[in-house]
Amino acid sequence: MQRLYGAARPSLDKLLAGQGIKLLFSVPWPGQSLYSVKPINSPDDFRGTKMRAYNPATARIAQLLKAQPTTIQLAELGQALATGTVENFLTSSASGIENKLFEQTKYFYPVNGWLPRNATVVNLKAFEALDKPTQDAVLKAALAAEQRGWQASEQKDKEYIQELGAKGMKISPPSEAVRKELRAIGETMTAEWLKTAGAEGQAVIDAYRKH
């Protein structure tokens, strides 16, 4: 994830600058992992199940897994699980603890499907109005905050997963078949994204894959 962020950062800086914004730093949430009310041992175990979706990307993942995408917001997820409206979903270990999802789901697979990130930004003109020493001090503090944030996210993920296990969830790595299927879906969705992202998007992917 850090490699992808690093590869995309120049394009992201350019895009935001065009909107009068400067990105100072970005920190990820714990990775999106798989929760399920039933064991998921192979891609076929997704077929026909009701999978939570909350945006076009998660709906597409469900479709590619041959599951039935079901639009449910996080605040409603507990009730949806209790009524059988949803059977599996991707969300972070943090959300699992905060929303007590361990009460309705038994199985947790740390797949790190993606890492949503929060970003701290400033007005570009305001930043450029600062003198050079002050700019340098802000950037130095931003870099330190980013490094600290990435480390904290990784550490909290480990702690949350341990807590989910202590709450009764069965924690296990995804099977090789499931891992392979998710990788293939990642490649499919990347190819679909590149159709709209154009040459700049391709440059980001190429830079990521070089390392």
Residues 6 or more apart whose Cβ sits within 8 Å of residue 151: none
Q: What angle do CA 98, 99, 104 make, to 5 degrees?
A: 135
Query: Beta strand pairing status for 21-28 and 117-123?
Result: antiparallel
* pLDDT at residue number 198: 86
DSSP string, 140-170: HHHHHHHHHHHHHHHHHHHHHHHHHHHTT-E
DSSP state of 64: H
Q: pTM of the full predicted structure?
A: 0.89
Confirm if 144 and 76 have CB atoms less than 8 A apart.
Answer: no
Number of H helices, E strands in the chain: 7, 8
**What letter represents residue 99's amino acid?**
N
In whole angstroms, give the CA distance from residue 63 to residue 11. 30
pLDDT digits (tens, 9 = 90+) for 70-98: 999 888 998 999 999 999 999 999 999 99
Q: Which long-range contacts (CB under 8 A, 24 or more apart) does 66-74 make?
A: 74/99
* pLDDT at residue number 211: 66
In CATH terms, 2-203 corresponds, of 3.30.590.10, 2.40.160.20, 3.20.20.70, 3.40.190.170, to 3.40.190.170
3-state secondary structure of 111: coil
* pLDDT at residue number 208: 84
- The residues that bridge with 121 in the sheet, in sequence order, are 23
Residues in the chain: 211
**What letter represents residue 15's amino acid?**
L
In whole angstroms, give the CA distance from residue 62 to residue 47. 9
Residues of the chain predicted below pLDDT 70: 211
Residues 6 or more apart whose Cβ sits within 8 Å of residue 135: 127, 128
Q: Please report, for the chain, the start and end positions of each structural domain, with discontinuous segments joined by +.
A: 2-203
* pLDDT at residue number 129: 98
* pLDDT at residue number 86: 97
Which residue is it, tokens 């702690």?
159
